[in-house]
Each structure stands twice: as C-alpha cells, then as structure tokens.
Amino acid sequence: MEGQSQGGGPLRGVRILDMATVLAAPFSATLCGDMGAEVVKLELPAGGDPLRGLTPVHEGHPLFWKTANRGKKGISLDVRKPEGRALFLRLVASFDVLVENFRTGTLDGWGLDTGTLHAANPRLIVLRLTGFGQTGPYARRPGFARIFEAMSGFTHLTGEPGGPPQHMNYPLGDVVAGLFGAFAISTALAERNASPPQQYRGAEIDLSATEAMARLLDPLAAEHRIGGVVRGRTGSRATYTAPSNVFRAADGVWFTLVGTGGPIFARICRAIGREDLLSDDRFCDNAARLRHLEALDRILADWCAARTFDELAALLDREDVPYSKVFSIADLQADPHMRERGAFIDLPDEEFGGVPAPAPVPRFVGRGPAPPPATGPRTGQHNREVYGALGLGEVQLAALREAGVV
C-alpha cells in the first residue's frame, strides 16, 4: 500500500515485527518506522487490540489506532496454535527486531522463549516492554500508563498543594516508555552493526515502563537521600527556579512564564516596569527568590491580571522573556510557526482520505521529507504480501484461515 513502511530514513533496511498491544511498545516500533524502518504489525486473527476501542473513535473508526500504528503493515497470526508458532518462527527469521509486551513469562509459556527465538534468528533483537521488568516480585503484575506514573513518583508531583495527586488526560507513562523502547532498539542496532557478524548473538532488552518514568526524575533521589526532602505538589509553580509559574491575563488567557537565571529575571523586571526588584534582597538570586516565591508570584500575577494577553505579550517580547500561551491542540495546529515547520502531516487513510498527526521527530537536515505514512492497518491487511514472501500460496493461506491460525 502506498505510504506504508516507507523505509527511506536512517533506519532504512531495518525490519521490525511488532506483536505488542495497546500503546507503549507499539509506539517504540512506530517511532522507528518514522525513521525509515519497515514495521509489520502482528495481531490475533480476530483482532481485539484494546487500542482499537480507545477514544478517539469516530463513527466506528479507531483514530487512536490509525495514528499510533501509522506506517505499519498488518498481519494476523495466532502464535498459541502449533501451526501459528511454527509459522511465527519462520517469519521472525527474516526480521531484525521483535517487539513484545506480554506479561513476563507469557511467550515462554507458548514455546517462544528467548532461546527458541534466537535459535530461529541468532541476530534477533528482542524488546520486552513490561510494566515492571522481567525480574523482581512485581514482574508478572499487570500495568497501564497510570500505574507507571503513580509508582514512579511522577503523579506525586502533579496537583495543587494539599490536594490530591493528579494524572493528565493522556497516557503519558505509555509514550515515555515507548520513547525509551525506540532508543533501546536504536542502541541495540548500533551495537549489532558495530560487531563482527559471526560474533553477534542477538540481544534481549528488558524495559520496565515504571523505571522509564522514574528515569525522568533525575535529581529527586539525591534530593531525598542527601537533603532529606521529598518533593511534592506545588500546582504549576516550580520550586527549583523562580519565577516559573502559570499566570492569567485580564482577558482570561493562561500562559506560562519562566525566569531561570539572573539575566532573564532582569529582563522580566524591565518588562513589567519593576527594575526596583533587582535591588530587593528578597529577589537577589535564585535561592532568595525561591524563599520568597509567594511574594514574587503575587507581583507577577497582579501585573498580568491588569493587562490583556496581547498587551503583556508585546512587553515580554520586547525584553525577550521566555513565555508561552497555554495552547490547546486547536491552537497548536493553527500556530503559524508550527504550520511553516510542517509539524503536523496528513496520514493517507481509506476512510477519511487523510488523518492529521504529528510529523516525525527529529528531522535530519538536508534530507527532503519522506511521503507521509499511511494510517494503521486493518487486521491482517497485508497477510498475502508478508506470508507470500515466505512462499505461502493462496491455498495454504486459505487453510490457515479456516483453522483460525491467520
């Protein structure tokens, strides 16, 4: 299908078999597909991936599925059946990477342990993305994005002081784990490509989504163990640099303003007409400003509340102060900078003609944009193409369909 698995980027020539479900591990494969890898999405013959039912679903069409699995070819296979397992081992021999996210031990129970996989393909890279990793007392626990966020300490930081911890209205834990998965695949490929072919014996990557979220919180363990501080909820206010908060303009527009470092704080003072604050001992450096956050934020909040967003934006721009309106997705898609950059693309789609989605990130300078990948495939959409490459004809495929294998 035109637009599917383009393979023109820096990961061109890499083949990834994605047998994972929902979002985290499939997102790893999708990111690699954005960079040119050929990705084949494997589902059970009856489909049933929960992502097909997650909002947004428009008139029965799963938009989340279409965007999250863009650029992939779709095949169906029940690896739990003996015929399916045998076909899977033939299939995996032609891939560089296998991506899975079943509970620890599940593939082993189906006779697809790492030893068996590497016997079929000695150079295979296997990404195992689970909630808590392949070892430890929680290894077999189920996990979803909010579980990873909560256990990692991330949710403990989110919310108003004295209020309940809060999750954002998006599965952040899944996509963060997916980013680490794509990074892990890329590093494993770099190691494989740097090794003599006869010496490389494949790789098994144990990626815990909870640990991926915790990895983002670099200084918090040191802050606790050495400083005795457990960082908590402060709303939108930062407690590591000041000023840094969300403010509201007179016309109701919310925006974020950041004043990290003395030079930027000086520019803020000039923008708001309060250069006297530069000689105020309460605000002489970052440590002092943090001790007097309430007073500093009140000065800024009062200044913002007396002006429309356009008025204060002009003053902040004049002094080159870092700030941004809090954008909705509608604002982001309409923004002239994002439009000029082509930050959103239309994915070719059979039902809608085109489905908007973020463009691949990052960009490699000097290379023209690749054709946009198509939306996520139907279950088994590319069975004939993929299995045909293994030598299976129509009669064999029909028999496998009848037996519920594909």
Residues 301 and 359 in one domain: no
pLDDT higher than 70, residue 4: no
**Lowest-confidence range among 152-161, 176-185, 197-206, 222-231?**
197-206
Question: Which of 271, 291, 324 delimits the end of a domain?
Answer: 324
How many residues does the structure list for the chain? 406
Residues 54 and 190 in one domain: yes
Residues 275 and 155 in one domain: no
Would 254 be classed as within a structural domain?
A: no
Tens digits of per-residue pLDDT, 369-395?
889 999 999 999 999 999 999 999 999
Rounded to 10 deg, the angle between the 172-194 and 24-34 helix axes is 50
Tokens of 335: 């923004």
CA angle 216, 68, 351 (to 5 degrees): 160
Would 9 be classed as within a structural domain?
A: no
pLDDT higher than 60, residue 365: yes
Res 7: pLDDT: 53
Would 178 be classed as within a structural domain?
A: yes
Q: What domain range includes position 161?
A: 15-216+340-402
pLDDT higher than 70, residue 298: yes
Give the mean model confidence (pLDDT) for residues 18-43: 98
- Give the Cα separation of 280 and 274 in Å (integer): 11
Would 316 be classed as within a structural domain?
A: yes
Q: Is 174 a catalytic residue?
A: yes
Residues 315 and 362 in one domain: no
Would 231 be classed as within a structural domain?
A: no
Res 199: pLDDT: 85
User: Which strands form 254-258's sheet, in the order they lie side by side?
Assistant: 244-248, 254-258, 323-325
Residues 137 and 24 in one domain: yes
Residues 71 and 203 in one domain: yes
Tens digits of per-residue pLDDT, 346-356?
999 999 999 99
Would 171 be classed as within a structural domain?
A: yes
Tally the domains of the chain: 2
- 244-248/15-18 β-pairing: unpaired
Tens digits of per-residue pLDDT, 215-273?
999 999 999 999 999 999 999 999 999 999 999 999 999 999 999 999 999 999 999 99
Residues 174 and 108 in one domain: yes
Residues 274 and 345 in one domain: no
If you ran DSSP here, which 8-state letter would residue 241 be given?
Answer: S
Determine what percent of the chain falls in helix, strand and coil, rounding each to the nearest 5: 40, 15, 45
CA 269 centroid distance within chain = 37
Considering the chain, what percentage of its residues have pLDDT values greater than 70?
98
CA 171 centroid distance within chain = 9
- Give the Cα separation of 366 and 184 in Å (integer): 26
pLDDT higher than 50, residue 3: no
Q: How many CB atoms lie within 10 A of CB 389?
A: 10
Res 369: pLDDT: 80
Give the mean model confidence (pLDDT) for residues 183-192: 97
Residues 191 and 99 in one domain: yes
Contact call for residues 149 and 143 (beta carbons, < 8 A): no
Tens digits of per-residue pLDDT, 112-159?
999 999 999 999 999 999 999 999 999 999 999 999 999 999 999 999
Would 63 be classed as within a structural domain?
A: yes
Residues 20 and 92 in one domain: yes
pLDDT higher than 60, residue 43: yes
- Is residue 198 very low, low, confident or very high in pLDDT (cuts 50, 70, 90)? confident
Mean pLDDT across the chain: 96
Question: Which of 289, 324, 359 delimits the end of a domain?
Answer: 324
Q: How many CB atoms lie within 10 A of CB 22?
A: 19
Tokens of 311: 């008025």
The whole-model pTM stands at: 0.94
Among the listed residues 174, 280, 281, 317, the single catalytic one is 174
Residues 188 and 47 in one domain: yes
- Give the Cα separation of 18 and 14 in Å (integer): 13
CATH number at residue 87: 3.40.50.10540
- Give the Cα separation of 272 and 398 in Å (integer): 73
Residues 380 and 315 in one domain: no
- Is residue 2 very low, low, confident or very high in pLDDT (cuts 50, 70, 90)? very low
Contact call for residues 309 and 255 (beta carbons, < 8 A): yes
Question: Which of 268, 300, 324 delimits the end of a domain?
Answer: 324
Would 56 be classed as within a structural domain?
A: yes
Q: How far is CA 203 from CA 104, 178, 185, in A?
A: 17, 18, 10
Give the mean model confidence (pLDDT) for residues 52-59: 96
